[in-house]
Amino acid sequence: MTTEHVLTELQDRVCTIRMNRLDKKNALTTAMYEGITAALLKAEADPEARVILLAGSNDCFTSGNDLADFLQNPPQGDDSAVARFMRTLATARKPVVAAVNGIAVGVGTTLLLHCDLVYAGEKTRFHLPFVNIGICPEFASTYILPRLMGHQKAAELCLLAEPFDAATAREAGLVNAVLPNDQSEAKAREAALKLAAQPPNALRTSKALLKRWREDLVVDAIRIEADKFIPMLGMPEAREAMGAFMQKRKPDFSKFS
């Protein structure tokens, strides 16, 4: 399943899926979404893979969507590459561990809500910039975030849409632990190996029960958010925000009501 920008490795019953587009800060393209989804599905079906580990590099987890690719290939409906990725990760039966370093922007932060254990480097910067670019949050984050950290904190992170550090992410319940950058992936792998040594059926059943009470709501939230998100990509606010980003200028929202 290894491709140029998505690397996979199965070792000691841990399947590592690594984003590998470092020259673009691991910005996600349609092809990368397809590659990660295929790797997740293969790991789910492989009895030798008991745990999935998501990682980037020591300098970058992911800067979110590649804006040029995203605008050229916008998600359209439930069968888009983005939608398939979201459903696959949100409903994964096997434990998913994430090692986060550098930057985790947009979906780089919201995907962590669907992992079971998350370990972050102390210099990691998280960001939920959706409102800044004229769109709404995705990946069931509008459902999960308020229940994880309370409405006010979720509103602060989503509506003010300012970057926040790893300590804030830990306090908000987004990550399990914060470590020196050069130790976070090792800690994530250590946790993955411990999970891989557990009785596999008991592990999968326990995870299923932990997520059972919200699974239908999460899948529904992903769809409802997409129903808003996709049309917003073509609206004037998003066009102004993304045009300003491309032109390296400050967007002007004063004319909108």
> What is the tens place of the pLDDT at every residue in 63-85?
999 988 887 888 887 889 999 99
Summarised one tens digit per residue, pLDDT across range 191-237 is: 999 999 999 999 999 999 999 988 899 999 999 999 999 999 989 99
Q: How confident is the model at residue 1 (pLDDT cuts 50, 70, 90)?
A: low
Is residue 107 within 8 Å of residue 64, measured between CB atoms? Answer: yes
Rounded mean pLDDT, 252-257: 92
- Between CA 85 and CA 3 the distance in angstroms is 16
Q: pTM for the whole thing? A: 0.95
Measured CA to CA, the distance from residue 5 to residue 69 in angstroms comes to 14
The mean pLDDT value for 125-146 works out to 97
pLDDT over 70 percentage in the chain: 99
Band of pLDDT at residue 4, cut at 50, 70 and 90: confident
Predicted pLDDT at 72: 83
